[in-house]
Structure 1
């Protein structure tokens, strides 16, 4: 017995003095491991090198120092060689439409967004509302961006736009909002072609009461602050924000309502009376109210410059079907019929409007990066034009970080998606863009994606090029069999 006790005491003594060994962490299995990554934090404006990004399913499960790569076993591992990883881009104003005959061509735009690094789009209404709602829940192509949509927009009686919900009184507006809620739309779009000003304000107020986000074209017959004070969530198109800077906005709006001037003449009057101090005061109030602006500046600039630019050799033409290209004719022909004075007015309004972008930034107004790409809007090529929009913001004085914020951070937040998107971080959705150059230093770096991660699936450079070739081949085949309709 004494011998046994001595042996036990010796064993306990040895255990007490022996060095402790660290318990090894269990190896975790993931679907995708990105190593040697430089992670871009757009919100903070920083980059962190030597990181790994672990992805399981459609989620990022970890972002850690490269030294911890041995904690993971991955189905696919991609060494990024210190390339930059940022959240995928969001285009916060696009359109699908052109009638049922163009459903397939609209569906075929989906991979065009993805190869350009656009992983989500906000559809701001067209004439294929139910189709787009179906696509939101069941993507039409294997590589499709996430879709957030307004469904059919609210308008007045007999407007120029097709596929809208026509409203002539408050009961019609209530019924429209009931319908949109039943469709589970992501926001409500309201436009001003024939909608009565009082019904516009009623629709905004009632939607807000229901907890629904609203976006709109603001009628020329009411002021921007009237719309914002009613609870408007986002102003679509920068020229509406420009008119808010007119020192005579209310009087000009009253003249338009009385039929004294055309819409184009009214916009020129707003630009002629634009006043910096007035604009600063109104923009400060927009910030207080939380009203965002989706500028679609590249789209409006392209239309304003139709008399200057030759688009017949645009690279983007090879990626857009002939039916959608045919819808461009409406705006092209209208621009061609403009008088010299109308052309001069168009350019003047464009230039004054562009001045407001840095002013909105300085006031702290949220700027949502959207393009107006899609049918009708001539030479505004889906996917490609988002890079043009970003570059235009920087040209006008925003930093690359500020330009990107409106796409990848404030875009998701506006749609109540900030918890899932907007950063390369654990718990976020694995929708990512891999770049050769730091986008915080050069925003044009987003044009050249080395890879895209879409819902957790890595699409590398080779596959991106294959997708581009497939899109071009589909368009070429459509061109060969396309027969323009009489309307085209």
Structure 2
């Protein structure tokens, strides 16, 4: 089976720690803002509240009421939203920073992402600093949490290594500790013991060389692909066994992120015809020129290795992706909590990639409502933020996305973004377009 693909396309991160200018947003923070005649998809149950008025004050949802009701307070900013749909802000639960943070945050926000979980701290990066700057409003970005460095067997050779690494994670204040899939049993169990002392959740890849039960001791699995490698050939072909395994996974409390889109992206690189189409993608303009040049070269891992490019390999990749979709449906049917994460890398761009991930999750057999939960309700539960996030209800944070079309009819309608409210700041369609244009212009500059 295929080992987890490397981040070969990463060619360096240019961190930016200054202020993300807020000139795009209407200064609605501190003002009373009203969405008028909007159709609300609250996500606390599968309903649509038609023709509502949603009032926000100081970054929180203050009132949700029928728009026909007489306004009982002064409204500073009115957003006309007739025939539009309001959903909670989206969560990207598998994000990787690969270029300029201010540009990548613009891509996330322009795509309705108001929560992001970074899944590795690469050399030269400081995600604790990023998280704190976002928290203190020095950097305008989504609610941000982060793992420490991506830890492999070479990083954890001894029990002493484990103790030191976990202590460092605690001292640095990382939200999660991320591991690879090949840790020896004694190292893995010691890691769980040590992280338990500091209440640091262990996340990342399943332990492929150990029985399923060991992987279920983690907080979350980063890829449904992991189960494709934990199960043997006979188990993978046995639907009855897979359903039983899903029930065991459910009972463990484990969360799973399918990350179907990034697996699909492998074949887009490896297959010549798909690669030709990828080269014409309109979103490439939002990546730096040097970065794109490398991604589109034939020297990348997925273009140069026959494990991916051979005709038989392309067939295998297709079958493996289908297996992952099928098991995603089995997990959902067993009520295993799923959350959307797109594992942003290369030309699978932040923000845009999340919408493709949602489309693939829905194509796996989930309903649009179930799919939307993976980017709203479920991440809020996982991050212990149900009191402030995940649904559109009074008293919660005003992290909202206004859509032109109903996502409960077609999940692809999450892309029909009319505007985004993040931390009470309203960014209309023109403002979001201006943000994207600025990213595009930055990426054209020499040396980027």
Report the structure number with the largest CA radius of gyration.
Answer: 1
Of 295-304 and 219-228, deviating more is 219-228
1:55 to 2:38 alignment: no
Q: CA distance change for structure 1 residues 135 and 301 in 2, over 3 Å: closer, same or farther?
A: same
Alignment of 1:295-334 (within 5 A): 295-308=258-271, 309-310=274-275, 311-325=278-292, 328=295, 332-334=300-302
Partner of 2:337: 366
1:51-78 alpha-carbon deviations (Å, 9 max, x no partner): 2112122211222222445212122121
- 2 CA distance for matches of 1:61 and 1:333? 51
Answer yes or no: is the 8 Å Cα contact 2:133–2:139 preserved in 1: no
Partner of 2:201: 213
Alignment of 1:59-208 (within 5 A): 59-97=60-98, 102=99, 105-128=100-123, 130-139=125-134, 143-157=140-154, 166-192=155-181, 195-208=183-196
Calculate the aligned-residue CA RMSD, in Å: 2.3
Following superposition, the deviation at residue 213 of structure 1 comes to 2.1
1:73-92 alpha-carbon deviations (Å, 9 max, x no partner): 12212121141111011111
- 2 CA distance for matches of 1:142 and 1:125? 20
Answer yes or no: is the 8 Å Cα contact 1:225–1:282 preserved in 2: no
1:270-311 alpha-carbon deviations (Å, 9 max, x no partner): xxx532122111110010011111111101111134222121
Provide the secondary structure at the position in 2 that maps to 1:368: coil
- 2 CA distance for matches of 1:382 and 1:312? 17
Following superposition, the deviation at residue 466 of structure 1 comes to 1.4
Answer yes or no: is the 8 Å Cα contact 1:53–1:62 preserved in 2: yes
Provide the secondary structure at the position in 1 that maps to 2:48: strand
Following superposition, the deviation at residue 147 of structure 1 comes to 1.3
Following superposition, the deviation at residue 471 of structure 1 comes to 1.4
Following superposition, the deviation at residue 469 of structure 1 comes to 1.5
Q: CA distance change for structure 1 residues 333 and 279 in 2, over 3 Å: closer, same or farther?
A: same
TM-score (norm 2): 0.85
Following superposition, the deviation at residue 204 of structure 1 comes to 2.8
Alignment of 1:416-435 (within 5 A): 416-435=384-403
Following superposition, the deviation at residue 167 of structure 1 comes to 2.0
Following superposition, the deviation at residue 247 of structure 1 comes to 6.0
- 1 CA distance for matches of 2:130 and 2:418? 27
- 1 CA distance for matches of 2:131 and 2:124? 11
- Give unpaired runs (5+ residues) of structure 1: 1-28, 158-165, 250-272, 483-488
Answer yes or no: is the 8 Å Cα contact 2:43–2:391 preserved in 1: yes
Q: CA distance change for structure 1 residues 209 and 246 in 2, over 3 Å: closer, same or farther?
A: farther
Provide the secondary structure at the position in 2 that maps to 1:72: coil
Following superposition, the deviation at residue 128 of structure 1 comes to 4.9
- 1 CA distance for matches of 2:144 and 2:298? 27
Partner of 1:39: 40
TM-score (norm 1): 0.78
Answer yes or no: is the 8 Å Cα contact 1:33–1:77 preserved in 2: yes
Following superposition, the deviation at residue 417 of structure 1 comes to 1.3
Following superposition, the deviation at residue 170 of structure 1 comes to 2.0
Q: CA distance change for structure 1 residues 333 and 191 in 2, over 3 Å: closer, same or farther?
A: closer
Q: CA distance change for structure 1 residues 129 and 425 in 2, over 3 Å: closer, same or farther?
A: farther
Following superposition, the deviation at residue 30 of structure 1 comes to 4.4
Answer yes or no: is the 8 Å Cα contact 1:35–1:69 preserved in 2: no
Answer yes or no: is the 8 Å Cα contact 1:110–1:141 preserved in 2: no
Q: CA distance change for structure 1 residues 155 and 302 in 2, over 3 Å: closer, same or farther?
A: same
